[in-house]
Amino acid sequence: MMPSRKLLPLMVAGGVVTVIMGFVLVVLLISWFSNPPFGLGNAPAQPVAFPHTVHVADNNIQCEFCHRNVTKGASATVPAVETCLFCHQNIDGGSADSQVEIQKVRDAFDTDTPINWERVHRLPDHVRFIHEAHIRYFTDDDIPVKYGINGEELAETPDVALTCTICHGDVGNKVEVQPKTGQSLKMGTCLDCHRNNSVPTDCTVCHK
């Protein structure tokens, strides 16, 4: 049955409002359950299949050897291609697959082409996160009691590698890097951790 001529404008207006509200709701839900919106939790496809397992777990390379700035500044930074060549100038890899991946790195160096990795962990642009300050805090022996990101008390003062796992999970045992399972990196998580550890929670501590 066709709606009466009088009801039609009302139905159109209702439809428009419903669509807008639905859209807003969907955006809010996505924002709440994902961090960042769209695609969190997956291991993004990377230009070179870099296995942290081989480098960290098998060969005991320290995090800060490659992420050189992690104990010095805001960004952890990804290593330069030249850094990879420190070893892979001579090390070819144990399998055909790994040799292919290592060759990609050598080609990048030879052709002076940077490697564009896909970022795995990301905070919003209005947040300022200083890796150095967090590592300095957690590795400080003079602070007697420290709490992890989910409120758990840490048994002892962690080293740098263990500190990384607090937020990033056990990256050293992952072939593909993906965010720590079930770990929220939203503002509430940051605030809880700051409160548990009795460190400032002023807005300007984190917000630009």
Residue ranges in contact with other proteins by CB under 8 A = 12, 16, 19, 23, 27, 36-38, 44, 68-69, 72-75, 77-84, 108-109, 112-119, 122
Token digits for 16? 């428009």
Token digits for 108? 């990048």
How far is it, in rounded angstroms, from Cα 14 to Cα 9?
Answer: 9
- Residue 8, C-beta contacts closer than 8 angstroms, at least 6 positions apart: none
Counting Cα atoms < 13 Å in the Cβ hemisphere of 124 gives 13
The SS3 call for residue 204 is: helix
Nearer Cβ to other proteins, position 73 or 200? 73
Nearer Cβ to other proteins, position 23 or 137? 23
Token digits for 195? 């409160």
Contact between residue 62 and residue 132 where contact means Cβ atoms under 8 Å apart:
no
**Owner of token pair 């090390």:** 91
For residues 45, 50, 56, 62, the Cα torsion angle rounded to the nearest 10 degrees is -100
How far is it, in rounded angstroms, from Cα 4 to Cα 38?
Answer: 42
Q: CA-CA distances (angstroms) from residue 72 to 77, 135, 183? A: 10, 9, 25
